[in-house]
Structure 1
């Protein structure tokens, strides 16, 4: 069983999240998926829940909400000291920019959708998949008929 780590996630709006997880990168991805603004994993530290609780107590005066802290005073010093610790790469905020002309402006869902449209435009691909879909529907109907 893997040991827990303390992770530090930075939000583009200037807040810092200090939490604990066995898989900090996965946790950061989950936080990112549920965050209204871009976030990035900036540090992974050895420790666990005792170290996380100590940090939460130390930075209580800068607490924004829950595990989120304002990047000021002692939190800013801590952030600067451990920035990049235990993390291979930290994406630049410009990679989160979705303005027109930015090479990163197409998100994964859009890229997958465009790729699916391109595949579906191919007549051979479409014929193959429509045929398979019809066969599966015929099987479903026949199973339902037997059950009744």
Structure 2
């Protein structure tokens, strides 16, 4: 077998593998596109048809649906206000998990309500009505 023949066979094998991989990727992207469109709410389906690629579809949906930074901050402020009140009928464990989640989310967006020891004081005041020994420090 000549060197040219070996080179041609190597090229042919590489091309076959490459083509096979491309077909698999194209099939996966078609499936993903179909999945996104089939699971998108009817209210937002028009945004899913705005793009040609999966990336374009996701960007379009995100722009239409995702809250703006200001809306996210307002939502977090509302959640934090609710968490500053003691849980009455709610399970204390659930309330603690929610407190931690809201606190971490607040820290991510750098809102001033969680600077310094303010969150600790808010927590202690909230827990005071449930267990007064928590507020004695």
TM-score, scaled relative to structure 2: 0.23
Greater share of strand:
1
Greater share of helix:
2
TM-score, scaled relative to structure 1: 0.22
* Bigger Rg, structure 1 or 2: 2
Q: More relative contact order in 1 or in 2 (CA 8 Å, sep 6+)?
A: 1
